[in-house]
Amino acid sequence: MVAQIKETPAATDWSKGAAIVEDAVVPVAEARLPLTDWGFTRSDVTYDVVHVWKGAFFRLEDHLDRFLASVGGLRLELPMDRAALREALTALVRRTGLRDAYVSMICTRGSPAPGMPRHPRHCVNRFYAYAVPFVWVIPEDVQARGAHAIVARTPRIAPESVDPTIKNFHWGDLTRALFEASDAGADTAILLDGHDHVTEGPGFNVFAVIDGTVISPDRGALEGITRKSVLELCQELGVPARVRPLHVEELRAADEIFTATTAGGVMPVARLDGRILGNDRPGPISMRLRQRYWEKHDEGWHATPIPYD
């Protein structure tokens, strides 16, 4: 089935964002989710986020691949095919007119019809989406000086319970870690698994630079699209890179640390648990990768231009 998105009249200011709700495009401030949707009451939902930079989606097809895999992994069904999904997201951004945007696609479990057994197989799944001005997980000024991070006491949810490769809203552990960070006067947190291996942070993948090699954890984390981009950039720049287990003591002793996400790109860390890395500024490899990441955006790397007119 291919859902037809019915757009509402454009007699409003769309610059703050727009959303798709019940097959209609509405201002993002008016977007609502049914109170009984299991996406809300049970966090039975998956989503993905793609960004728009200077009028073009970045790695749109990679994000669609991951979103559709997550939908299948949770045994959900979208009310549209891939082509209609791509068209809906494009129309949504075009409606806002935003050239730099954060675009989320969401599939919820929905809820069972009245009188039906309360089992997920009886739910009617729902699709939502929204586009808002570009979001920075770590603000640009903090990135410029290097983020201050802590290793959280709160462990990451075990992958045996919640698969981290399926993007989800199970943020209880990540939220606790963010409060730990703010209580310590830090900007953000990095979480470990039950064996003291690094997983990820609230909305980002983690990297350590050890003896000139970029290391990314191989477990307990989302297989990030920006992480994939970083690994490609390392190959381009001749920087050795490995995906392998990363113990917390290796992280603490690393020469450099940086994070990566759709909502911010490559984001350097300057302090971990109060320890100053380098000269208390972003490290040289982190900065090379960050600079090249945004340069390649300007060159049209993995770009899908949006036809605004």
Specify the higher pLDDT residue, 296 or 2.
296
Last residue of a domain, one of 133, 168, 188: 133
Specify the pLDDT at position 163.
95
Asked if the structure places residue 303 within a domain, the reply is no
pLDDT in tens, 198-218: 999 999 999 999 999 999 999
Asked if the structure places residue 306 within a domain, the reply is no
Asked if the structure places residue 1 within a domain, the reply is no
Which percentage of the chain shows pLDDT scores above 70? 97
Are 95 and 244 members of one domain? no
Among the residue ranges 103-112, 116-125, 174-183, the one predicted with the least confidence is 116-125
pLDDT in tens, 116-172: 888 999 999 999 999 999 999 999 999 999 999 999 999 999 999 999 999 999 999
Domain limits for position 191: 140-298
Q: What is the domain count for the chain?
A: 2
Are 156 and 116 members of one domain? no
Specify the pLDDT at position 116.
84
**Mean of all residue pLDDT scores within the chain:** 95
Last residue of a domain, one of 75, 104, 133: 133
Residues forming beta bridges with residue 6, ordered by sequence position: 24
Any idea what the CATH number is for the domain that residue 248 is in?
A: 3.20.10.10
pLDDT in tens, 1-58: 455 566 666 578 899 999 999 889 999 999 999 999 999 999 999 999 999 999 999 9
Are 62 and 29 members of one domain? yes
Are 104 and 201 members of one domain? no
Last residue of a domain, one of 103, 133, 163: 133
Any idea what the CATH number is for the domain that residue 24 is in?
A: 3.30.470.10
